[in-house]
Structure 1
């Protein structure tokens, strides 16, 4: 009989412990909900903590060790941001469901990757079975800016279907690097050849036009797409389209017809910038 009473008390104690743990986690989630910290605020907090610690514990080995560790973390954070171009500006989470072996939390993330901004929302399902913990992401929703880019829209849609954040961020970093490279390249040629190069869709478009002021109606369109395959690998795809008046077409039929093929060959031989530079120089000298 005594053993039965002890077991009842033990069960009650265990139940109270689990309830206390659940309440503590709910309190932690409520404190984190809708809390946003920029990278600058994080670094400022670290430095403020450093100053307080060094002022109170100066001369102790533990403070010196902690200072070195914090400096190392700052260096790693700065390196990762420069390497990937990804900066997180906000995060919040909320517990939706919690049982003994399952926890479901809803996360919101915001940030930017170079000149592209993003917002993520997803549910994280954590399962515990015999001491082993597994996690799975569900209901992934991604919002990217700027919008209206077909390649980017396809990339976002496929990322939502896969539900892999690692693949998304790895692909996003590479995509944003090419996106930024294209933008700077278009800006460079627009500023260098303002009378020849035009940007009908601005710097965020995927093509530029070459217009020869000496020949009315003679245009070349350099199209620069950023294709992303099923594995999330971005690849620049460039091509040349021509718009030529009939009088000019009759005079230089062979040269104009072979222009796209020659442009693609130049891309392989000298790279994107040099191929565009050569094309602009040839185009501007045509009469």
Structure 2
């Protein structure tokens, strides 16, 4: 027992002596002054820069990252102007994650010209040694496009197929025609307020032309926007007539051929000019 105590005591003395030596050495270093020449300082800085550049090889500088961000923002701005699509909100939630499989739930909302939309879908990502694949499932689309049966069919077809690229490409085309129709109706209503009537407002798909001096006489210009299940968009315009019986008897041939003549004007002069000419004819009718 005594031998053990002596051994411990000797070890403590040895540690104390070692600590004392280290303390003395530290004090000596503290009182020493080390001076470096300007050349040595410059060489040290250059060496540090080379090491830093070597460690950051493959990384972009802040100025490069800023330039890249500005370029991406410019591209995004161009795409929004070109397609008319703007996203107002986006949220995602990871509902499942394993080593090779990730499932995220996304919610998107935005507008394309004057049409708003909401999307909800799940994105399934599968990863293997060679590649990563992604599949969209459970797609749900809400469109504020009124009672357009064509759009409803297209939305249902897109939800079944889960093809977002087709949806956004077709939405851009459809919304552009939708906005063009709205602006055209607004233009003619403002220019000919006594002749042009919009029973369903600017978002309706037809306008009524009436001559205030001819009771019961009116022309209806119907402007549908047809979109098939594949997303192909086509404007379809036609003319419907409502004519008092006495006028119809006097100008039967002219009234009967009016729709065909209107369609011919559409092909020859375009939508705006065809409507303008028709409005002028109605306004001069006696």
With structure 1 as the length reference, what TM-score do the two structures score? 0.76
Deviation by residue 1:189-246 (Cα, 9 ceiling, x = unmatched): 1011111100000000000000111111111100000001232011100000011110
Alignment of 1:147-186 (within 5 A): 147-186=146-185
Q: How many corresponding residue pairs?
A: 227
Distance in 2, matches of 1:66 and 1:114, equals 32
- Give the match for residue 53 of structure 1: none
Q: Calculate the aligned-residue CA RMSD, in Å.
A: 1.5
Single out whichever of 89-98 and 172-181 deviates more from structure 2.
89-98
Single out whichever of 253-262 and 131-140 deviates more from structure 2.
131-140
Distance in 1, matches of 2:140 and 2:229, equals 18
> Bigger radius of gyration, 1 or 2?
2
Distance in 2, matches of 1:116 and 1:282, equals 33
Secondary structure of the corresponding residue to residue 266 of structure 1: helix
- Give the match for residue 133 of structure 2: 134
Deviation by residue 1:61-82 (Cα, 9 ceiling, x = unmatched): 9343333222212211111110
Single out whichever of 70-79 and 196-205 deviates more from structure 2.
70-79
- Give the match for residue 285 of structure 1: 284
Distance in 1, matches of 2:67 and 2:207, equals 50
- Give the match for residue 219 of structure 2: 220
With structure 2 as the length reference, what TM-score do the two structures score? 0.76
Superposed structure 1 runs of 4+ greater than 6 Å apart: none
- Give the match for residue 114 of structure 2: 115
- Give the match for residue 242 of structure 1: 241
- Give the match for residue 79 of structure 1: 78
Distance in 2, matches of 1:107 and 1:178, equals 28
Distance 1:66 1:134, change over 3 A: closer
Distance in 2, matches of 1:267 and 1:70, equals 46
- Give the match for residue 7 of structure 1: none
Alignment of 1:189-200 (within 5 A): 189-200=188-199
* Native 8 Å contact 2:208 2:219 kept in 1: yes
Single out whichever of 139-148 and 186-195 deviates more from structure 2.
139-148
Deviation at 1:113, TM superposition (A): 0.8
- Give the match for residue 187 of structure 1: 186
Alignment of 1:4-19 (within 5 A): none
Secondary structure of the corresponding residue to residue 201 of structure 2: coil
Deviation at 1:128, TM superposition (A): 2.5
Distance in 2, matches of 1:210 and 1:87, equals 35
* Native 8 Å contact 1:147 1:153 kept in 2: no
Deviation at 1:84, TM superposition (A): 0.7
Deviation at 1:255, TM superposition (A): 0.3
Structure 2: which 5+ runs fail to align?
A: 1-59
Deviation by residue 1:84-128 (Cα, 9 ceiling, x = unmatched): 111111111112223333222111111111111111001111222
Deviation at 1:185, TM superposition (A): 0.1
Q: Does 1:264 align with 2:263?
A: yes
Distance 1:195 1:209, change over 3 A: same
Structure 1: which 5+ runs fail to align?
A: 1-60
- Give the match for residue 103 of structure 2: 104
Q: Does 1:93 align with 2:92?
A: yes
* Native 8 Å contact 2:150 2:228 kept in 1: no
